[in-house]
Amino acid sequence: MIATPFRLASATLLMLASLGATAQSKDIVVDGQGEVPYVVDQRNVVARSGFDLCWRTGYWTPAAAGAVKAGELPVGCQCDKDVLGADTCVPATARGVASAPAAAAAAAPAAPARCDFSVNLAADSTFAFNKAALTGAARTTLDQAVIAKMGNCATIDSLIITGHTDRLGSQGYNQKLSEKRADAVKAYLLGKGVKAANVETMGAGKTQPIKSCDDKLGRKKLIECLAPNRRVTVDVKGPAK
């Protein structure tokens, strides 16, 4: 029988592989089904070089390396793992173990519901220019948007009231005015039964504006334009019922 070039090449490769056998790791045995993209001997063991590299055939492709099995995994997982990728080369049993923590996390109880909310009492409907007295509109807002919502809370962890002013006037004057506005809201809430221990007030003065206006408007229109900055914010945090 005349040896074909492919058979000669295969024999040569097998001979080279045998020279480095002592340095090689465990044999890679393919299942023999499909077109194996690596040179194999009569035992279906992949031939490897003295550097423990698998000998590819002329029809090797990444797809072929991933299609033919060598045990539970594709043969390419032992010969060309960097080409196939780590995800392809994880045994099904190991994937099941890896997914177990995720399944346990999914089965964990949901976090307790919260009743956290914020309310902004803004503009002249709440505070007139240069004033700290609550208007009727402000009281209504506090009743409907703060006290009513607090009824959904099992407890109140914190209730922070922050007063703000527009930019007209000095920093010192506006700081005191912002504190008076926060204190006015606190006094109203305490009168409605809110516990003083849960309430904290502070003044931000004119340092946190939410609207800017051009001085060219003239004083009257400027005061009207800056109205959104004259406000009090109420921030409530606590678990829901």
Tens of each residue's pLDDT in the chain, 241 residues: 444 444 444 545 444 444 444 444 688 888 867 788 888 888 888 888 766 788 788 777 888 888 888 888 887 888 887 777 777 787 766 655 555 565 556 667 788 899 999 999 876 566 778 888 888 888 999 999 999 999 999 999 999 999 999 999 999 999 999 999 999 999 999 999 999 988 999 999 999 999 999 989 999 999 999 989 999 999 999 999 9
Supply the DSSP string of 40-77, one letter for each residue.
Answer: B-TT-BBPB-TTSPBPB-TT--HHHHHHSEETTEETHH
Return the structure tokens found at 115. Answer: 């009743």
- Domains of the chain with CATH codes: 5-96 (no CATH), 117-237 (3.30.1330.60)
Given a contact cutoff of 8 angstroms between Cβ atoms, the answer to whether 54 and 68 are in contact is no
pTM, two decimals, is: 0.55
Alpha-carbon span 238 to 154, nearest angstrom: 7
Contacts of 16 (CB under 8 A, 6+ apart): 49, 50
- Straight-line distance from the first to the last Cα atom of the chain, in angstroms, rounded to the nearest whole number: 89
Supply the DSSP string of the chain, one letter for each residue.
Answer: -PPPHHHHHHHHHHHHHHHTGGG--S--B----S--SB-B-TT-BBPB-TTSPBPB-TT--HHHHHHSEETTEETHHHH-HHHH-TTTTS-HHHHHHHHHHHHHHHHSPPPPPB--EEEEEESTTT--TT--PPPHHHHHHIIIIIIHHHTTBSS-SEEEEEE---SSS-HHHHHHHHHHHHHHHHHHHHHTT--GGGEEEEE-TTSS-S----GGG-HHHHHHHTGGGSEEEEEEE-BB-
32 phi-psi bin (left φ>0, alpha ψ -120 to 50, beta other): left
